[in-house]
Amino acid sequence: MLLIMNNKKECLLLCSVQSDCCFSTPDSGQHFQFQNWTIKADQAKKAEFIRTAEKLKNQLVNIEKDKNGNLYSKKSDFRVEYSTLEELEHKMTNNRKAEKAKIQQQLAKIHNNVKRLQRQLKDVKPTPEFVEKLREMMEEAENAINGFKEEQRLIYEELMKEEKTATNELSALQKKIDTWALGSSAIERVFRLPSGKVPVDKTLQNHLPEEVVEFERFLQQTGGRQGGWDDYDHQHFLKVWTKHKGKPSYIKEALEYLSGRTREDIQQHETWYQEFLILEERKKESIEKWKMKKQQEKQEILKQKQKSEKMFKTENLQQEAAQKQKAEKERKKQQAAVEAWKRHKEIEFAMKQASRLKEEEEREKKQQKERQRQFQLKLLLEKYTRQKEEQEALQRLEKEKREEAEREERKRIAAEEISKFQERDLHKLEVKILEKQAKEEEKIEKEKRLAKLREKVEVHVTRDPSRLYKPTKGWDERTKEIGPTDVQPLLHIPHRAIPTWRQGL
């Protein structure tokens, strides 16, 4: 609903802005001065409206996120129940899109009419037919804008009624929820406590049924919903006790599962469990009675709310009727002001047409004088251009002659320099040839000297393979100095001792 109202308000604002633009001709300055205070008030209202619309838009985005995350999530436990609500929302979204497209088409049509009127005002013709045609176009655009405004106003009023109705329903529901809050929150807190010891607050005793308080006190005094036993022992006890349907024969099997428990412990736990079941059943019956009582109270409160809503609706209808009358008076007042402004604009338009014709005649005379002056300036410019071209031609000829003489001089200097360079190169070449010949002669002389030296030091030896097995002269000299020695045979060769464990092996 907030999104629908937001779209409606944006359309109304756009229509109001375009209706102001349709009269924004170049001659509309006096009209803005005539209704200056009205325009300022409208601008302030528009700015306030835009701020409110942006705020509502942001709130709507946040609500959409919360809704999609909590209601339409696939992991939600109430996915099936909320599917109907989701289908209804899709249907309303499609309706909003269709209505938005329709409004955009109407605004586009009004925009085209205004643009066509502005194009006609750019090319004004001082003829009665043109004035009549212009009046018809203005009336057509104005009627389209007024019709669109009236249609949107009715839709907006209908939406305001729906918003008030929804607000009243939400207020009634909120009050009903507030009446349930104290008792419901107390019961939920008790139900959600863990299976251990359950504390019973004194404040809750005053609001809970006596059976519920008695049950919670019993749990607190006896060790919680398992009678002081751990979860493993209690579950095995329930399994065996349920299997034997509470008969005494279950004790023997229970002792097998509960190795740390005695027969007396099991019997005491059975007594506790039977009392637990009795008190729990009483608690359930008490809660059902309490719910029925609360339901009756809700129905009584709902009846009272319906009566108050009827009275509130009657007052709203009276206020809306008064507002409609006031709005109708305001619309008639504005219509009269617009009619007066139209008459004023028609007179002003006729006067301006006459002054415009006079201005056009004066402008034509000025343009004729300007054309004559431009023609004279053109003739002078052509004469000056011809003279300048002749001077430039003479300058080009002189420049070409001067460049030709410079080229000839450069050629002569280049030829002289080339002959000098050639002579220098020939001289360098001759010097290099002489140096090369001197080096070759010196190399030949050096080779001759080396050949003579080789002949002097060269050794001529004949080949004798038996020399390989003969002792060298160095060995002969060594044996001469030492002389022969007496060699005796070795009778005993020293070696390491043999361990006892290896002896005899």
CA–CA gap between residue 175 and residue 166 (Å, rounded) = 14
pLDDT digits over 222-244, tens only?
877 777 888 778 888 888 888 87
How does the average pLDDT of the chain come out, rounded?
77
pLDDT digits over 489-505, tens only?
555 566 677 777 877 66
42-56, 176-190, 440-454: the lowest-pLDDT one: 176-190
pLDDT of residue 451: 83
For residue 505, give the 3-state DSSP assignment.
coil
What is the arithmetic mean of pLDDT over 469-481? 81
Place of tokens 């209706």: 19
pLDDT of residue 18: 43
- Report phi then psi at 26, rounded to 5: -60, -20
CA–CA gap between residue 442 and residue 435 (Å, rounded) = 11
Q: At 118, which helix (H) or strand (E)? A: helix 79-122
**120, 137 in Cβ contact below 8 A?**
yes
For residue 4, pLDDT over 80 is answered with no
Highest mean pLDDT among 37-46, 64-73, 146-155: 146-155
pLDDT digits over 289-306, tens only?
888 888 888 888 888 878
Confidence of residue 482 (pLDDT cuts 50, 70, 90): low
More confident residue, 486 or 338: 338
For residue 487, pLDDT over 60 is answered with no
For residue 194, pLDDT over 60 is answered with no
What lies within 8 Å, CB to CB, of 111 at 6+ separation is 18
pLDDT of residue 28: 43
- From the list 106, 68, 89, 105, the residue with the least C-alpha distance to 2 is 89
pLDDT digits over 11-28, tens only?
443 444 344 444 444 444
Residue 92, CA distances (Å) to 6, 84, 96, 415 in order = 14, 13, 6, 101
Q: Report the length, in residues, of the chain.
A: 505
For residue 30, give the 3-state DSSP assignment.
helix
For residue 351, pLDDT over 60 is answered with yes
**212, 286 in Cβ contact below 8 A?**
yes
Residue 20, CA distances (Å) to 32, 107, 236 in order = 10, 14, 84
CA–CA gap between residue 244 and residue 397 (Å, rounded) = 136
Give CB contacts under 8 A, 24+ apart, made by 336-339.
337/35, 338/142
Angle, in degrees to the nearest 10, between helices 79-122 and 2-21: 0
pLDDT digits over 303-334, tens only?
887 887 788 788 778 888 888 888 888 888 88
CA–CA gap between residue 139 and residue 162 (Å, rounded) = 34
Residue 144, judged by CB atoms within 10 A of its CB (0-12, 13-18, 19+), counts as buried
What's the distance, Cα to Cα, between the start and end of the chain in Å? Answer: 118
CA–CA gap between residue 25 and residue 117 (Å, rounded) = 10
% of residues, the chain, pLDDT over 90: 0
pLDDT of residue 362: 87
CA–CA gap between residue 473 and residue 470 (Å, rounded) = 9
For residue 191, pLDDT over 70 is answered with no
| CA-angle at 199, arms to 198 and 200, nearest 5° | 115
pLDDT digits over 76-117, tens only?
656 666 677 778 888 888 988 898 898 888 888 888 888 888
For residue 483, pLDDT over 80 is answered with no
Q: Can you say whether the dihedral through the CA atoms of 361, 362, 364, 368 is positive or negative?
A: positive
Buried b (16+ CB within 10 A) or exposed e, 380-409: eeeeeeeeeeeeeeeeeeeeeeeeeeeeee
% of residues, the chain, pLDDT over 70: 80
Token reading at 310: 């009827």
**2, 60 in Cβ contact below 8 A?**
yes
Token reading at 287: 């809660």
pLDDT of residue 492: 58
Confidence of residue 214 (pLDDT cuts 50, 70, 90): confident
For residue 182, pLDDT over 70 is answered with no
For residue 438, give the 3-state DSSP assignment.
helix
For residue 6, pLDDT over 50 is answered with no
Q: Can you say whether the dihedral through the CA atoms of 85, 87, 89, 95 is positive or negative?
A: negative
Token reading at 69: 């995350």
pLDDT of residue 172: 78
DSSP 203-223: HHHTTS-HHHHHHHHHHHHHT
More confident residue, 180 or 440: 440
pLDDT digits over 395-411, tens only?
888 899 889 889 888 88
Residue type, 143: N
Confidence of residue 285 (pLDDT cuts 50, 70, 90): confident
For residue 388, give the 3-state DSSP assignment.
helix
CA–CA gap between residue 237 and residue 266 (Å, rounded) = 8
For residue 215, pLDDT over 70 is answered with yes
The single-letter DSSP state of residue 225 is: G
